[in-house]
Amino acid sequence: MKNLSLLSVVVTAAMVLVGFDAFADEPASGGLLVHLNFDEASGEVAADASGSGTTAKLAGGPRWTTGKLGGGLEFDGVDDFVEIASTPDLDGLQNGSYTLSAWFKPAVAPPVRDGDQKAHYGILNKAGWHTGLRYNDDRTFVFDHFLQGKKDKEPIWSGASTGDETFAPGTWHHVAGVVDATARTATIFVDGVAKNSCPPWDATSRAREYGQMTWKVGMAAPGAKTYAYPAKGVVDDVRLYRRALTAQEITNLAKAASAAR
């Protein structure tokens, strides 16, 4: 027993010396409001694995399929979506620091029709000057975040995109958008790497109000004649956090799929 205790002390000391953290690569859970892992394989409801008990209902007939981490949902680019129920925390999520995260595999690039609604795929969005994550016809990812316009002016876009860096369809990518309300910035991450951030906005600015508009997966505005953003592809592991995740936490989320496979 004495030798075993000594070994334990030595191992523990070694772990401290090299900065080992057994939980360093675990996906973040603090501040997690919704986690849809889409592992149900059937049914019309996607369970919330965060423990918050938020309801997420399937509409239009998205197909249960293989995802990046277990199961996933395939959207047809026409009328499929998942609606996350309204809650006070989710209604006001965009007003403070927050993080949106999802895995997405676009089937093809969105068809270009000169401003047609299908020029974008909605991954995780709230409609009405859509805020959230999308994939474009130019094969870029965008994180949309809007500030309230001054007086009667239109809302001000304060998001971030991947710019000239493109991502081919048919491949899984982890996409995350982070708003840091203290730094007053929005940052987009792809596959665990920060791609771009917007310049800090004015300290007097505030986020656009959306009332009780719900967050949706696979489409931003169902039924809209324009800017509906119906996605064609597979979505997995959707997460909404009520805080700004660190760059390392985003990297850990992107690495989690590799560890699970």
Tokens of 243: 């805080």
Tokens of 79: 């009328």
What would the DSSP string read from start to end of 190-215? Answer: ETTEEEEEPPPPPTT--BPP-TTPPE
Give me the number of domains the chain comprises. 1
pLDDT tens digits, 83-136 = 999 999 999 999 999 999 999 999 999 987 555 666 899 999 999 999 999 999
Choose among 94, 15, 21, 14: nearest CA to 248.
21
User: Would 188 be classed as within a structural domain?
Assistant: yes
pLDDT tens digits, 34-77 = 999 999 999 999 999 999 999 999 999 999 999 999 999 999 99
User: Would 233 be classed as within a structural domain?
Assistant: yes
Q: What pLDDT is stored for residue 11 in this prediction?
A: 40
User: Would 24 be classed as within a structural domain?
Assistant: no
**Amino acid at the residue 58:** L
User: Would 22 be classed as within a structural domain?
Assistant: no
Q: What pLDDT is stored for residue 233 in this prediction?
A: 98
Tokens of 16: 């401290």
User: Would 246 be classed as within a structural domain?
Assistant: yes
What CATH number is associated with residue 115?
Answer: 2.60.120.200
pLDDT of 171 above 50? yes
State how far the Cα of 18 lies from the Cα of 247, in Å rounded to an integer. 21
pTM: 0.87
Domain that includes residue 235, residue range: 29-260
User: Would 21 be classed as within a structural domain?
Assistant: no
User: Would 158 be classed as within a structural domain?
Assistant: yes
Find where tokens 């971030």 sit: 160
Q: What pLDDT is stored for residue 13 in this prediction?
A: 42
User: Would 42 be classed as within a structural domain?
Assistant: yes
**Amino acid at the residue 35:** H
pLDDT range class, residue 258, cuts 50, 70, 90: low
